[in-house]
Structure 1
C-alpha cells in the first residue's frame, strides 16, 4: 500500500536504526519523521499527531525494563486521537512487547527486523487507523475492472484460497490486498512474500521460522512468514518461480495446516488465508515440469485474472491523474495538467509494463517536466523522450553530477532493501560518508 497522505514517526534512540526504518518507509508514505529522544515528543505532537508510531521500548543504554517506552506509549494513547503504535524490541524483549500490546500497542516488531514484515505491520496499522477502502481502491471503471471488483466482493468473505493471474505490473498485490481488506481477517496482518526471491538454502527458515542455534547464524528464535501472518492473509507472490523442491515443502505445510520451525521438535498449527499470484501463462502453470499439479489445486480454488492495461485503455486518464497528483505531493511540485495531445498519445500507448510502468512514467514526468503542462516527452516513452534527454545533457555539470549521485545512492538503497551497511559497501564508501550524502540529497 502506498499512501502519500500517511504520516509515520520512528522513535528510537539509535540513529542508525531510525534512519534505516525511515529509508525503507519513506518511499511508501507521505511523511516519515524520526526522533531519538522522547523528551522532544510533546513538541512534535503539538504540531500534529502522526498516524503510526514505531516505538522503541528502551532509551537509556543498559536499561532493559522498558519503563521509558511504556511511559511514552501511555503518552501517545492519551492523545485525543491516538496514533497506531508498533513496538520495536530486541529478541530478548518479547515479553516486554507483549506487555506493550496489553497497554495499547497494536503490534510489535523484533530487531533486526524483516523489511517485508515491517512494511506489512505499518500497512495494517494504517488500515486500522484509516479504514481501508477495499476493492474500491482498485482504480478503473472499465467493464473488465468492474467484473474483477465484483469477483473480489464475492470471494473475499470466504476462506477460499485465491490465485491471481496477470502480466507483470498489472497490480496483482493490490488485488490480494483488496481481498484481505474485504475479508473477516482484515484487522489482522497482510503479509506479502516474493517466493521467487527466497533462496533454497533459507526457504524453510523464511517461511516456517527457526529456533535459536538451529544453524550458525540463528542467534535467536525467529517466526517464519506463516507464524507472522497468523490470523491474517499470506500473499505468496511470483509463486510460479518457486523451485520444485520448495513447492513440495509448501504443499506439505498446506496439507497438514502446520509447520515445524527449523530446530524445533514440535509442529505448530497455522492459521492463514493463502492468496497467491503469478505472471506465468496458464499453459505453463499446468505443466507438471514447471509447477506441481497437487500444489496448484491447493492454491487455485478461485482464480482471478487481472486484465493488462492495454485491454482497459479507458482507465488510463484516471490512472495518470492519480499518479501525477501522488508524485506532485511526494516531491512537493506544483499541480499541472497533462497537455491534451500528450494525453491522447499516452492513452494510445500499449503500456507493456502495465500500471507499474505508467506509475514510473508519471514519477519521471513530475521530476523532469519543466513546462506549464506535462508533455508526452516528459514521460520517457520511446523516442519521443529524446528532447528531455538532450535538455538534461545541456544542464550545468554540478546539477547533472548531483542527480547522478542521488540516483545511484537511491538505487543502492533499494537493492540493499534499506540496509545502510550493505548500501555503503556496494557504493564503496563508509557508513558515515553515506549518511552525509543522504542528508545532502535529502534522501
Structure 2
C-alpha cells in the first residue's frame, strides 16, 4: 500500500467503481462521491492529497464550468491538495484554463491504467511536497518571530532619550543606512532592534554581528558564507550573515574594530549589493537594511588612516548619537527600579527599595559603564544584601573621585582602560569571567586588552 488519501468525484457510477477497484488495492484511503456538493465537507474532515474530479455533472453538459468551479473551491479550502481533472472531451483550451485555475493535471476518459497511476502518484507526491514547504514556511515564520523577540526594553523618559527615539521613528520606515554611536553600555543594540521593529522589514530577521569578535581569518566565511571544501574545515556549505539577513536587517556592532584591509571587502559587498561565498565564483544578490554601531570616533580614525572614508560615507547616511547614562537625569532611577524588580524576581527575593542617600549616590555617580554597569551594580546589590532597603554601602562602585584626573576631563578610553584593568584584577587570569562582568564578549575584551597594552 502506498501513502495517500484519494477522493474521487464523478456522477458516473461505473467510473467510480472502476477507479475504486483500481486504486483501493494500492492506496491507504479511497473515497468516492457521486455528487460534488459533498466535496467541501469531505476535505474538511479528511486530509486528501488528491482529488480526481470530473469536469461535467449535469446531463449533456460539456463546457467544464462545473469542474472549474469545484476546482476553485478545493484550492481555496485546501491549497496543498492536488486536483486532477477528468473529462471525455479532449479540449486543449479547457485543459489550459483548468491548469491556470490550479489543476495539477488533466486526463481524458477512457484512460490508460498505467498512465493514470503514474499521474496519480506524481500528483500525490506534489501534494506532500507542498505540505512540507508549507510546514517549513510556518516554522521559518515562527523562528523569525522568536529570533526577533526581544525581552529588553528601552526605558526612560528624559528629553535626551526622547530625542533619540524621535529620530528612530523618522528613519525606521526608510531603508537608509544608520550609524549608531555612543559609549559602551548605552544601549546601541536596543536602538538597532527598535529601528528594525519599526521598519518595513520587521517580518524578516535582524541579524547581529559583533565585528570585534570575528577574527580576520574567519571574516569572509562569517559574513559571506562558504561552499563545501572551500577550506580545510569546510565540511558543508554554509550561508553567511549577509545571506541570512537577506530581506531583513543586518546589524554590524563595533564596526570601528574592523581592520583596514577588511573594510574594503565589506565596502565592496555594500556597493555591489552582492556577495560571493568562499569557494564560489557565482555572485549572490543581497537585499539588506544596514545598521552599524560603534563607540569610536570614526571621523578621527579616518584622519589617522584607520578607517576608510568611503566606507564611513556608505554606513553613515543617518547618525544617531546615544547619550551616556550620566546625562539622562532621573532615567538612572527609573532604570534602577526596573533592574530591582528584574533581579528580585530572578533570585526569588522581595523587591528592595533605595533609600534617599542611595538614590543620591546613584544620581551623582558618572556611570562610565553606563546602563550595563548600572544593571550589574543592581544585580550584585540584590544578591549580597540581606535587607529590603538598599543603602549606599550596598553598591560597590568604582572610586572615580580618587582618580588623578577630574571626571569632566577624564578621557573615555582612559576610563575604559581602568575599568578593564579593575575587572582583570578581580578575576586574575580569567578573561571569560572578566568579560562577563563587563558585559562584553571574551574576544572583544581580549581585543581591548591588546589595544590598551594589558596583555
Report TM bin, short chain: 0.5 to 0.7
Contact 2:256 2:294 in 1 (8 A): yes
User: Which residue of structure 1 aligns with residue 147 of structure 2?
Assistant: 123
2:136 maps to 1:102: yes
User: Which residue of structure 2 aligns with residue 381 of structure 1?
Assistant: 397
2:271 aligned to 208, 231, 255, which one?
A: 255
Q: CA deviation at 1:191?
A: 1.1
Q: CA deviation at 1:346?
A: 0.7
2:292 maps to 1:280: no
Q: CA deviation at 1:361?
A: 0.7
2:206 maps to 1:173: no
Distance 1:121 1:259, change over 3 A: farther
Q: CA deviation at 1:341?
A: 1.2
Which has more radius of gyration?
A: 2
- Unaligned stretches of 5+ in structure 1? 1-94, 110-119, 385-403, 418-443
Contact 1:313 1:348 in 2 (8 A): no
User: Which residue of structure 2 aligns with residue 14 of structure 1?
Assistant: none
Q: CA deviation at 1:281?
A: 2.2
Distance 1:98 1:179, change over 3 A: farther
DSSP 3-state at the match of 1:235: strand
1:402-421 matches, within 5 Å, as: 411=433
User: Which residue of structure 2 aligns with residue 293 of structure 1?
Assistant: 309
1:240 aligned to 225, 248, 256, which one?
A: 256
DSSP 3-state at the match of 2:209: strand
* CA RMSD across the alignment: 3.1
1:432-443 matches, within 5 Å, as: none
User: Which residue of structure 2 aligns with residue 325 of structure 1?
Assistant: 341
Q: How far, CA to CA, are the matches of 2:188 and 2:352 in structure 1?
A: 30
Give the TM-score, by structure 2 length: 0.57
User: Which residue of structure 2 aligns with residue 368 of structure 1?
Assistant: 384
2:239 aligned to 223, 239, 246, which one?
A: 223
2:191 maps to 1:157: no
- Unaligned stretches of 5+ in structure 2? 1-128, 401-425, 440-455
User: Which residue of structure 1 aligns with residue 322 of structure 2?
Assistant: 306
Distance 1:162 1:222, change over 3 A: same
Q: How far, CA to CA, are the matches of 2:188 and 2:258 in structure 1?
A: 17
Q: How far, CA to CA, are the matches of 2:398 and 2:303 in structure 1?
A: 36
Contact 2:269 2:275 in 1 (8 A): yes
Q: How many residues are aligned here?
A: 283
Q: How far, CA to CA, are the matches of 1:161 and 1:362 in structure 2?
A: 35
Which has the higher relative contact order, 1 or 2, with Cα contacts under 8 A spaced 6 or more apart?
Answer: 1
Q: What CA deviation, in whole Å up to 9, does each residue of 1:99-132 have, x standing for no partner?
A: 47437313598xxxxxxxxxx87432x36xxxx9
Distance 1:378 1:167, change over 3 A: same
Distance 1:413 1:331, change over 3 A: farther
2:246 maps to 1:212: no
Q: CA deviation at 1:285?
A: 3.8
2:179 maps to 1:145: no
DSSP 3-state at the match of 1:104: helix
Runs of 4+ in 1 over 6 A off after TM superposition: 95-98, 412-415
User: Which residue of structure 2 aligns with residue 198 of structure 1?
Assistant: 214
Contact 2:350 2:388 in 1 (8 A): no
Contact 2:298 2:312 in 1 (8 A): no
User: Which residue of structure 2 aligns with residue 42 of structure 1?
Assistant: none
Q: How far, CA to CA, are the matches of 1:200 and 1:355 in structure 2?
A: 30
Distance 1:161 1:288, change over 3 A: farther
Q: How far, CA to CA, are the matches of 2:170 and 2:131 in structure 1?
A: 37
Q: How far, CA to CA, are the matches of 2:314 and 2:192 in structure 1?
A: 17
User: Which residue of structure 2 aligns with residue 189 of structure 1?
Assistant: 205
1:337 aligned to 335, 338, 353, which one?
A: 353
Q: How far, CA to CA, are the matches of 2:211 and 2:179 in structure 1?
A: 14
Q: What CA deviation, in whole Å up to 9, does each residue of 1:266-296 have, x standing for no partner?
A: 0101111100011112542432511100001
Contact 2:207 2:249 in 1 (8 A): yes
Q: CA deviation at 1:383?
A: 5.8
Q: How far, CA to CA, are the matches of 1:206 and 1:282 in structure 2?
A: 24
